[in-house]
C-alpha cells in the first residue's frame, strides 16, 4: 500500500474542492453542522416515552447515542433519536448560513484509487418540482409541488475520483438515492481543477449543468423513469438547477473546508480530528408535518392544469373539465352521495373512502436523513460503475445509422507508452464497411473512413496484435457470398484484404480473440452449427495455417452469434442454445510447439452457473477487465421505464477439482449507461485500470460509451 503524507492529502483535497452553484430561487442554504446543532434539541423517542435533551450545544457525547431502530412506526417498542429544530428558530434555521458553511471531506482509499467525498449539510430539504415536458409542441415548464418530500436536515455530496498519484479521473454527482458519474470532458471546471456542482432547487441534489432533470425511482439497482406521457405531455418529478449564488468551498475562510476522516490509506502525520457528531447514529431531522387545505389543493391543481395546457394547448377543454370534476368530488359531499347512488353502494362508505383520500392528499410527515457514516458510500466507496456517458456517433451533423452490431478494438500504434486509440467498426445501411478512430477516452472521433471496398453482410469483429517488432489491426467480416474475410493494417489507416474459403450463416456475426500469435474465430455456419477457426500471424501481418478447430459434438446448432475471449491462457466461448446461455472453457492439452504455444485444445464442457440463471437477453459476451472475467449482456427482464438494460456479471471459477467448468456469477449489475438496446455490442478493454469500452446499437443508430466496472 502506498504511503502518503497528510500535507499531500490536503493539497489534493483543496485542489479538487468543488464550486457549488445554487438556483436563483433557492431559500434553503448550507450551514456547518455545529451551527445547526446549536439551534436544535436532541430527542430520544420510544413507543411509551419521549425524552427531550435540550442541550445539543454540548456535542461531545453525541457519538454515544445508540443506533436508531425504527423511526417510522412509534407504536412499536423501538428507539429513535433525532435532532429537532427548535420551533422558535425554525424559519431562521431552515434558511441556513452560507457565510459560515463548511464543506466536509472524507478521504477513502478504494483499490487503486482515492475517493475525495465532499459533503454539504443543509438544515432543510425542500420539495422537488413537477415537470410538464412538451413532446409535440407547446412550452415545457415546471411547477412547485408544495411541501411533499420536505424534511429537516439534508446531507448531500459529490465524490471526486483520483488516481493514487493524484490525477483526476471522474466525479460522482449524488442525486437522491442514486447519482451520475461524469468524466473530465463533461465536467465544467473553474480556476484550475475545481469541478462545478449545480445544486437543485430546494432538494440540493448535485448535477453537472443548469437545467431540468428527471427524478428517477430505483428498483433492484436499476433507475426507473416513473414519468407518464399523456396527450403529448410528459409529466413527472424533476430537479431544477440554475445560476444563482456561488460557493467556492476551497475559499480561505477558516471553516470552508474540513477533512473529517481518512480511511483505507496509510498517511503519515494525519492531523484529522473527527467531531463527536460524525458518529451520531440517529437522524439529522425530526418529524416535519404538513397540511394542505382545500384551497391549497385547488391552487396546486390549477397550476398543474395551466402547465399542462401550455405544453399542449389543444387539450385545454378536456383538461379543464377533468380538473373541475376532480375538485368537485374532493370538495362536495352531495356529489359523492350522488355518485354512490349511481353506483349502488353506500354513500357513507364512499364518503369515508374519499375522506381517506383527502387525508392522503392533504396531510403528511417526513423524517430527516441518517448521518454520513451510515451511508453505504462512506464504507465501500461509490458502488455505481463509473460510466463516462454516451456518445452519439455522427457523420457530419447526421447520426450514423448502422445495419449490424458494431465492433471495437483498442490499439497502441503510438510509440508513447499507454497512449491507446480506440477503433470502431460498423456497416452503414448500404452495407459499406467503415471504421472510426478515437483517443483512449472514447469521446472524440476522427470521422469515418472505409475499411474495404467489399460490402459487409454481418456484424464485424476486430482485434489488435502487438509483439516486440510487430503491430497489426485486424477487422473480420462476411461478404455477400457468406465468405469470411479480413482486412489488416500495420498503421491503422491503410488496409490490405484477404479472403478465406470458409463460409458462415448469412447476415450473421462472428467473434475473434488472440492467444499468443494464434487468432481464433467463432461463428455459426449455414446450418447454425458452432464453428471455430484458428490461424497463425506471420511476420508480414498475414494469417497462415488456417485450420478448422474441432468443436464438441454435443453443441450442435446454436440460436445466436457466439462470442470468444482469452482469459488465463484458456479460451471462453459463449452462445445461447434453446433459450439457455452457455459458456465453454477451452483449455490446452497434449504437447507444445516450438514457440511455446499449446498444439491442441480441449473443450472442457458447458459451464454450470451456480448463482442462478442469467436473465434472458442477448448472448452474454465475455470480456476481461482488470484481470477479471465478466459477462456483458442486454437484460430483457428490466422493469418498464428502466433507463438502461446493459448489465454485467463477474465470474469466478469453482475451487472444486470435480467441477472444473462450474462458475459462480455475481448478481447482475447495470453498467451505468443511460441507454436501452436490443442488439449485441462491441467490447474492448485492456488489462489494468482500464474501463470497458462499448459500441452500441439502438434503433439502428450507433453509440459508444465506457464504464469502469472493476
pLDDT at 663: 79
The residue written with cell numbers 405531455 in the block is 233
Closest residue by Cα to residue 61 from 271, 281, 260: 281
Query: Taking the domains of the chain in order of start, what are their residue ranges?
Result: 3-287+367-380, 291-365, 386-708
Q: What is the mean pLDDT of residues 621-642?
A: 89
Model pLDDT for residues 206-223, shown as the tens digit of each residue: 999 999 999 998 887 788
The mean pLDDT value of the chain amounts to 84
Residue 338 confidence (pLDDT) above 80: no
Share of the chain above pLDDT 70, in %: 82
pLDDT band at 590 (very low <50, low <70, confident <90, very high): very low
Contact residues for 36 (Cβ-Cβ < 8 A; gap 6+):
83, 93, 121, 123, 153
Which of 179-183, 326-330, 387-391, 496-500 is most confident? 496-500
Residues, the chain? 710
Residue 505 CA to residue 562 CA, distance in Å, equals: 12
Residue 440 CA to residue 576 CA, distance in Å, equals: 32
Q: What is the mean pLDDT of residues 593-612?
A: 59
Q: What is the DSSP letter of 272?
A: -
pLDDT band at 76 (very low <50, low <70, confident <90, very high): low
Model pLDDT for residues 406-442, shown as the tens digit of each residue: 999 988 876 665 568 899 999 999 999 999 998 756 6
Residue 75 confidence (pLDDT) above 70: no
Q: What is the mean pLDDT of residues 341-367?
A: 53
Contact residues for 35 (Cβ-Cβ < 8 A; gap 6+):
97, 100
Residue 637 confidence (pLDDT) above 70: yes
pLDDT at 77: 46
At residue 549, φ and ψ (nearest 5 deg) are -80, 125
Residue 6 CA to residue 3 CA, distance in Å, equals: 10
In this structure, are strands 662-665 and 608-609 parallel, antiparallel, or unpaired?
parallel
pLDDT at 688: 62
Q: What is the mean pLDDT of residues 360-386?
A: 80
The residue written with cell numbers 516450438 in the block is 594
> DSSP letter string over 341-409?
HHHTS-HHHHHHHHHHHHHHHHEEEE--PBPGGGSHHHHH---S-EEEEEEE-EETTEEPBBSS--EEE
Contact residues for 95 (Cβ-Cβ < 8 A; gap 6+):
27, 28, 29, 123, 124
Topology given in CATH for the domain delimited by 386-708 = Neuraminidase (2.120.10)
Closest residue by Cα to residue 603 from 581, 592, 591, 588: 588
pLDDT at 665: 84
Q: Is 42 helix (H, G, I), strand (E, B) or coil?
A: strand
- Is residue 368 within 8 Å of 85, Cβ to Cβ? no
Model pLDDT for residues 164-203, shown as the tens digit of each residue: 999 998 899 999 988 888 888 889 999 999 999 999 999 9
Of 120-124, 427-431, 689-693, least confident by mean pLDDT is 689-693
pLDDT at 272: 92
Amino acid at each position: 500500500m502506498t504511503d502518503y503524507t497528510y500535507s499531500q492529502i490536503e493539497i489534493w483535497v483543496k485542489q479538487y474542492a468543488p464550486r457549488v452553484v445554487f438556483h436563483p430561487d433557492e431559500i434553503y442554504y448550507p450551514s456547518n453542522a455545529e451551527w445547526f446543532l446549536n439551534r436544535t434539541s436532541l430527542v430520544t423517542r420510544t413507543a411509551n416515552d419521549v425524552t427531550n435533551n435540550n442541550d445539543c450545544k454540548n456535542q461531545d457525547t453525541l457519538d454515544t447515542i445508540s443506533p436508531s431502530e425504527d423511526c417510522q412506526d412509534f407504536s412499536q417498542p423501538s428507539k429513535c433519536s433525532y435532532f429537532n429544530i427548535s420551533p422558535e428558530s425554525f424559519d431562521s434555521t431552515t434558511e441556513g448560513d452560507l457565510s459560515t458553511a463548511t464543506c466536509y471531506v472524507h478521504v477513502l482509499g478504494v483499490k487503486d484509487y482515492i475517493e475525495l467525498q465532499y459533503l454539504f449539510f443543509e438544515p432543510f430539504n425542500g420539495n422537488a418540482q413537477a415537470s410538464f415536458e412538451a413532446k409535440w409542441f407547446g412550452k415545457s415548464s415546471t411547477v412547485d409541488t408544495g411541501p411533499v418530500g420536505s424534511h429537516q436536515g439534508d446531507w448531500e455530496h459529490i465524490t471526486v475520483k483520483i488516481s493514487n498519484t493524484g490525477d483526476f479521473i471522474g466525479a460522482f454527482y449524488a442525486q437522491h438515492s442514486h447519482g451520475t458519474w461524469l468524466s473530465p470532458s463533461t465536467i465544467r471546471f473553474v480556476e484550475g481543477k475545481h469541478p462545478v456542482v449545480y445544486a437543485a432547487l430546494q432538494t440540493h441534489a448535485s448535477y453537472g449543468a443548469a437545467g431540468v432533470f428527471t427524478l428517477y425511482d430505483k428498483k433492484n439497482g436499476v433507475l426507473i423513469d416513473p414519468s407518464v406521457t399523456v396527450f403529448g405531455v410528459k409529466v413527472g418529478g424533476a430537479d431544477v438547477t440554475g445560476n444563482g449564488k456561488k460557493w467556492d468551498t476551497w475559499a480561505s475562510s477558516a471553516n470552508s473546508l474540513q477533512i473529517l476522516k481518512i480511511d483505507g490509506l496509510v498517511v503519515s502525520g494525519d492531523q484529522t480530528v473527527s467531531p463527536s457528531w460524525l458518529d451520531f447514529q440517529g437522524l439529522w431531522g425530526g418529524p416535519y408535518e404538513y397540511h394542505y387545505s382545500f384551497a391549497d389543493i385547488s391552487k396546486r391543481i390549477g397550476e398543474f392544469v395551466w402547465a399542462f395546457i401550455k405544453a399542449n394547448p389543444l387539450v385545454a377543454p378536456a383538461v379543464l373539465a377533468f380538473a373541475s370534476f376532480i375538485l368537485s368530488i374532493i370538495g362536495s359531499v352531495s356529489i359523492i352521495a350522488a355518485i354512490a347512488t349511481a353506483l349502488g353502494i353506500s354513500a357513507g362508505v364512499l364518503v369515508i373512502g374519499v375522506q381517506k383520500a383527502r387525508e392522503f392528499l392533504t396531510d403528511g410527515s417526513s423524517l430527516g436523513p441518517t448521518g454520513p457514516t451510515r451511508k453505504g458510500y462512506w464504507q465501500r466507496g461509490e458502488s455505481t460503475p463509473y460510466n463516462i456517458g454516451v456518445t452519439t456517433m455522427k457523420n457530419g451533423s447526421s447520426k450514423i445509422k448502422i445495419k449490424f452490431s458494431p465492433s471495437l478494438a483498442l490499439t497502441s500504434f503510438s510509440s508513447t507508452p499507454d497512449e491507446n486509440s480506440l477503433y470502431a467498426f460498423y456497416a452503414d445501411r448500404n452495407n459499406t464497411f467503415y471504421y472510426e478512430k478515437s483517443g483512449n477516452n472514447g469521446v472524440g472521433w476522427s470521422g469515418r473512413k472505409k475499411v474495404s471496398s467489399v460490402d459487409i453482410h454481418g456484424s464485424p469483429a476486430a482485434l489488435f496484435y502487438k509483439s516486440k517488432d510487430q503491430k497489426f489491426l485486424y477487422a473480420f467480416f462476411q461478404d455477400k457470398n457468406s465468405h469470411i474475410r479480413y482486412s489488416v493494417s500495420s498503421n491503422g489507416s491503410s488496409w490490405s484484404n484477404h479472403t478465406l474459403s470458409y463460409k458462415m450463416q448469412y447476415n450473421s456475426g462472428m467473434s475473434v480473440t488472440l492467444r499468443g500469435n494464434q487468432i481464433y474465430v467463432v461463428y455459426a455456419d449455414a446450418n447454425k452449427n458452432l464453428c471455430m477457426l484458428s490461424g497463425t500471424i506471420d511476420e508480414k501481418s498475414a494469417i497462415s495455417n488456417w485450420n478448422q478447430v474441432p468443436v464438441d459434438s454435443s453443441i450442435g446448432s446454436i440460436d445466436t452469434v457466439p462470442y470468444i475471449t482469452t482469459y488465463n491462457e484458456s479460451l471462453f466461448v459463449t452462445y445461447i442454445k434453446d433459450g439457455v446461455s452457455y459458456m465453454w472453457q477451452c483449455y490446452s492439452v497434449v504437447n507444445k510447439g516450438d514457440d511455446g504455444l499449446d498444439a491442441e485444445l480441449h473443450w472442457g464442457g458447458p459451464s454450470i452457473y451456480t448463482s442462478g440463471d442469467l436473465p434472458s437477453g442477448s448472448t452474454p459476451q465475455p470480456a476481461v477487465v482488470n484481470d477479471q472475467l465478466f459477462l456483458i449482456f442486454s437484460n430483457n427482464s428490466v422493469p418498464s421505464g428502466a433507463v438502461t438494460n446493459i448489465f454485467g456479471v463477474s465470474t469466478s471459477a469453482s475451487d472444486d477439482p470435480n467441477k472444473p467448468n462450474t462458475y459462480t456469477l455475481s448478481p447482475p449489475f447495470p453498467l451505468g449507461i443511460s441507454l436501452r438496446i436490443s442488439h449485441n455490442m462491441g467490447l474492448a478493454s485492456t488489462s489494468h485500470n482500464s474501463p470497458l469500452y462499448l459500441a452500441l446499437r439502438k434503433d439502428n443508430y450507433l453509440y459508444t460509451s465506457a464504464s469502469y466496472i472493476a
